Structure 1
Amino acid sequence: MSEQKLPVVVIGAGPVGLAAAAHLVQRGIEPLVLEAGADAGSAVREWSHIRLFSTWSEVVDPAAEKLLAPTGWTAPDGATYPSGGDWAADYLQPLADVLGDKVRFGARVTGVSRLGRDRVVDAGREQQPFTIHVLNADGSEERITARAVIDASGTWTTPSPIGGDGLPALGERSAADRISYRVPDLKDPAVQARYAGKRTAVIGSGASAFTALAYLADLAKDAPGTHAVWVLRRGIGGSTFGGGEADELPARGALGLAAKAAVGNGYASAATSFRTSVVEQAGGQLVLEAEGGDRLDPVDEAIVLTGFRPDLSFLSELRLGLDERLQAPTELAPLIDPNQHSCGTVYPHGVKELSHPEQGVYLVGMKSYGRAPTFLAMTGYEQVRSIAASLAGDQEAAERVELTLPETGVCGGAGLFDEPDAAESEGGGCCAAPTTVQIGVGAPATSGGC
């Protein structure tokens, strides 16, 4: 079969993966979306209780909307904010339904390579199509041949650990029954019972940590004794709670203010410049110990929201060009590196910044950002628009920027996710002795910071 007649395989039927398929269809290119889960947006459904800080108008891809319009699909009110559950049920699943047999569920990608070539072989490499190894839900295996691969599998399945060195803290695995790596749904009575009246450590500094702090503060109003210990690896400064009213995404700014209120009203205390190295179990509780030996008072539970990282294991036979720090594409990394860019927007980018030495393979969406904490859905939609244009041979459109991003209004590396994938960025922080502080709402937050 001519390589041009082969499909473009898209890995993942989340927001960006389905948008990629829509753009490919619009360009007359056949997509095949492989989704490990049973439904569209399977990862999004796992945080269905969390409301996005982008409005509906900012999380519906234009090409996808054009596919949906003839079906009688009615776009939600563009000025309102969907929850993860709304996003999946009212947009992602209808979009997958329109795409029909172009989307396959229960299809887990276990490997991607060049047909007949491992990563060592040069001879005839770029003339070979890609081969995608798939494990189906019924246990059967198959091989699919493709002209290009767009990996939109995200980072949801690979949360970062408690350990300040990027590895699990000593004792973290054995304490797994008391540790969660997701923002809990405290409207669920069973989940609520786990945290009500308890002391909970919330580890992380981004949007997910803000959300958890706000949720626990609400629970504390009805369940006396509920208290959060907010554990940060850096000090507290003026940017700790995000952009507030200066944020052009108002709901994101409000989220940081809600977290600030949780601390200021006494529902949470902050342990700053604390890099956990040990999780000790003592008397049915957990004690966190920092690298220097400092220890926090015991807690009953821990919610670890230190970010996510890309799973690159099934891409090991491809020649990827990845930044050594962020695990993001080499040309994209300088634009999103929190060590260098703690304020402002991320410049919209496309196929040029997302290309690899292995031509025809692209990491998009959350996965393209590696460990960086600044991803927005709009960014992913622009990425796949550009890639689809390039695959169609329309280089002028591929290089054209068709997106204006809102100013973040955030400095210091706070997490800026549409999806609850907050990362523990080091941008804007500084080192100080570990300390636990109380912060007043509206007062300068300077203890342990810069």
Structure 2
Amino acid sequence: MPATPAPPTGRLPVVIVGAGPVGLAAAAHLLGRDLDPLVLEAGERAGAAVREWAHVRLFSTWSEITAPAAEKLLAPTGWVKPDLTTYPTGGEWAEHYLQPLADALGNRVRYGARVTGVSRTGRDRVVDAERAEQPFTVHVAYADGREERILARAVVDASGTWSTPSPAGADGLPALGERAAADRVSYRVPDLDDPATRARYAGRRTAVIGSGASAFTALAALASLAKADDGTGTHTTWILRRGLSGSTFGGGSADQLPARGALGLAAKAAVDEGHADAVTGFRTRAIEHDSNSRLVLVSEDGRRLDPVDEIVVLTGLRPDLSFLGELRLGLDERLQAPVGLAPLIDPNQHSCGTVYPHGAKEFAHPEPGVYLVGMKSYGRAPTFLALTGYEQVRSVAAALAGDHEAAARVELVLPETGVCGGAGLFDQPQADNTPADTGCCATPAAAEPSPVTPAPRLIQLGTTSPSASGCC
């Protein structure tokens, strides 16, 4: 199929991969800059990934999870702004904000459109000659079986990390036997309001592996199930790769996001009340079957836990870079984040409270015109904020429009959390092998300046509270 013709103005579009919160915000910013966005979404509706955790309630209010540029686009459509003081579920976020925003963008959003490859027209990643002068070619496979090549002036990859959860194995690879036990291993927070899912966990023993907000959510939900089904044997074994400390359960009552603090306290209560047992310093090597076909977790040091019926693995997410293989990306060898950004977000050194301003400059790759934004820009780092993503794409849109002064004006303003320990984007758990003293803790005033990038002039954001979609 021939490449999509350029728009009537003769301009090629900026292709955005993913119709999630950050991808749609990118489209809104590009329109505000008189650029032509084209959003390609593999799902059948906007926010397809968010809808997969529709049952999970965010720990930030509506006021903290909408992009100002998006609200400007929505205003003329008759969109009714939700009560800004309430906490939506993922499903409500998708239905009452993301889908209306995608509808406002009209035919600039295509559904059932999976990006399978991105390159330079007529150039693989080896060829230097006239490379930068060639437009990007984006290969798309549609749900109806069609294929298409779309020419683009730039590519903004906002596809996130939801589709690639990390495995149970402590070495970053699936544990021995993990694939064989796939029918009883889940990588998502269980929806216990669903009768079939409830029946799967009720009266059974479940192992939850992870230490972030998703693990907290699962622990609290399974504890509620144990209380409701008292006497049926519902019980949880909570597996951590490190030890318990005062920061394990987050900021509690000191957290400036009360719902997030309450979530950590609910997880603590699950342990204190005996509905969950915490197993610390356990790095999973294998998942075996006992004589009754139950699952036995084996650690790297040879410890074997009591058998369980189900395993919920919530050890973080990682980026899918497979369709970007023909582009020249500059990625940090550990985090898989852009090399200019990685030192600012390294969980060995920083929490989301100490991440310094970043924008289009820090996203730069050897391949000009390609940007990884949103959670994908953080690679395996767990401390991403939705408001960070909204500022990222504001900066990228300004850079693509040639307004480099505006592109450089990026600043994050974060509140106190009261204690270290965090989670990740869209209830993504903190990576379980992250140092215990990382997470969301420090305020900007308490942070030391980054030795990599000097902080630019402070730009006060319209909303200074962090998004529920991130660790803060």
Report the Cα distance in structure 2 between the residues aligned to 1:410 and 1:315, rounded to whole angstroms.
38
How much does 1:244 deviate?
Answer: 1.5
SS at match of 2:423: coil
- State the match for 2:50 in structure 1: 44
How much does 1:329 deviate?
Answer: 0.9
SS at match of 1:165: coil
Report the Cα distance in structure 2 between the residues aligned to 1:166 and 1:404, rounded to whole angstroms.
33
- State the match for 2:450 in structure 1: none
Report the Cα distance in structure 1 between the residues aligned to 2:125 and 2:335, rounded to whole angstroms.
22
Report the Cα distance in structure 1 between the residues aligned to 2:418 and 2:80, rounded to whole angstroms.
32
How much does 1:422 deviate?
Answer: 4.1
2:145 is the counterpart of 1:139:
yes
How much does 1:402 deviate?
Answer: 5.2
> What is the 5 A alignment of 1:45-84?
45-84=51-90
How much does 1:83 deviate?
Answer: 0.4
Unaligned runs of 5+ in 1: 431-450
Report the Cα distance in structure 2 between the residues aligned to 1:141 and 1:410, rounded to whole angstroms.
50
2:344 is the counterpart of 1:335:
yes
- State the match for 1:399 in structure 2: 408
> What is the 5 A alignment of 1:121-160?
121-160=127-166
One-letter amino acid of the structure 2 residue matched with residue 270 of structure 1: A
Report the Cα distance in structure 2 between the residues aligned to 1:426 and 1:374, rounded to whole angstroms.
11
2:281 is the counterpart of 1:273:
yes
2:129 is the counterpart of 1:102:
no
| Residue from 161, 186, 193 that aligns with 2:192 | 186
Report the Cα distance in structure 1 between the residues aligned to 2:294 and 2:104, rounded to whole angstroms.
50
| Residue from 301, 304, 313 that aligns with 1:295 | 304
Report the Cα distance in structure 1 between the residues aligned to 2:98 and 2:431, rounded to whole angstroms.
25
SS at match of 1:241: coil
> What is the 5 A alignment of 1:163-242?
163-223=169-229, 224=231, 225-242=233-250
- State the match for 2:268 in structure 1: 260
- State the match for 1:448 in structure 2: none
- State the match for 2:461 in structure 1: none
- State the match for 2:357 in structure 1: 348
Report the Cα distance in structure 2 between the residues aligned to 1:212 and 1:359, rounded to whole angstroms.
42
TM-score in terms of structure 1 length: 0.93
Report the Cα distance in structure 2 between the residues aligned to 1:337 and 1:245, rounded to whole angstroms.
27
Evaluate the alpha carbon distance shift between residue 119 and residue 410 of structure 1 in structure 2; reply closer, same or farther with a 3 A threshold. Answer: farther
Deviates more, 1:9-18 or 1:69-78: 69-78
- State the match for 2:390 in structure 1: 381
Report the Cα distance in structure 1 between the residues aligned to 2:170 and 2:319, rounded to whole angstroms.
18
- State the match for 2:378 in structure 1: 369
One-letter amino acid of the structure 1 residue matched with residue 328 of structure 2: R
SS at match of 1:93: helix
Report the Cα distance in structure 2 between the residues aligned to 1:330 and 1:115, rounded to whole angstroms.
25
Report the Cα distance in structure 2 between the residues aligned to 1:343 and 1:41, rounded to whole angstroms.
24
How much does 1:182 deviate?
Answer: 0.2
| Residue from 249, 258, 264 that aligns with 2:257 | 249
2:119 is the counterpart of 1:113:
yes
- State the match for 1:315 in structure 2: 324
Report the Cα distance in structure 2 between the residues aligned to 1:339 and 1:308, rounded to whole angstroms.
17
On the 8 A contact 2:22/2:158 being kept in 1, the answer is yes
SS at match of 2:227: helix
How much does 1:181 deviate?
Answer: 0.3
On the 8 A contact 2:256/2:416 being kept in 1, the answer is yes
On the 8 A contact 1:207/1:417 being kept in 2, the answer is no
One-letter amino acid of the structure 1 residue matched with residue 205 of structure 2: R
- State the match for 2:367 in structure 1: 358
One-letter amino acid of the structure 2 residue matched with residue 290 of structure 1: S
2:38 is the counterpart of 1:32:
yes
SS at match of 1:144: strand
Report the Cα distance in structure 2 between the residues aligned to 1:182 and 1:384, rounded to whole angstroms.
28
How much does 1:391 deviate?
Answer: 0.6
Evaluate the alpha carbon distance shift between residue 114 and residue 247 of structure 1 in structure 2; reply closer, same or farther with a 3 A threshold. Answer: same
SS at match of 2:353: coil
Report the Cα distance in structure 2 between the residues aligned to 1:304 and 1:133, rounded to whole angstroms.
33
One-letter amino acid of the structure 2 residue matched with residue 236 of structure 1: L
Report the Cα distance in structure 1 between the residues aligned to 2:357 and 2:55, rounded to whole angstroms.
29
On the 8 A contact 2:375/2:425 being kept in 1, the answer is no
On the 8 A contact 2:211/2:429 being kept in 1, the answer is no
How much does 1:340 deviate?
Answer: 1.4
How much does 1:401 deviate?
Answer: 2.2
How much does 1:403 deviate?
Answer: 4.2
How much does 1:52 deviate?
Answer: 0.8
Report the Cα distance in structure 2 between the residues aligned to 1:429 and 1:232, rounded to whole angstroms.
15
Evaluate the alpha carbon distance shift between residue 429 and residue 62 of structure 1 in structure 2; reply closer, same or farther with a 3 A threshold. Answer: closer
On the 8 A contact 1:181/1:305 being kept in 2, the answer is yes
Report the Cα distance in structure 2 between the residues aligned to 1:366 and 1:421, rounded to whole angstroms.
13
Aligned identity (percent) is 74
On the 8 A contact 1:53/1:418 being kept in 2, the answer is no
One-letter amino acid of the structure 2 residue matched with residue 301 of structure 1: E
How much does 1:337 deviate?
Answer: 1.1
Deviates more, 1:9-18 or 1:275-284: 275-284
On the 8 A contact 1:343/1:409 being kept in 2, the answer is no
Deviates more, 1:346-355 or 1:101-110: 346-355
Unaligned runs of 5+ in 2: 1-5, 439-472
On the 8 A contact 1:20/1:388 being kept in 2, the answer is yes
How much does 1:407 deviate?
Answer: 3.2
Deviations 1:155-189 (Å, cap 9, x if unpaired)? 11100000000000000000001100000000111
Report the Cα distance in structure 2 between the residues aligned to 1:4 and 1:130, rounded to whole angstroms.
15
Deviates more, 1:398-407 or 1:1-10: 1-10
How much does 1:415 deviate?
Answer: 1.7
SS at match of 2:116: strand
- State the match for 1:5 in structure 2: 11
SS at match of 1:166: coil
One-letter amino acid of the structure 2 residue matched with residue 308 of structure 1: L
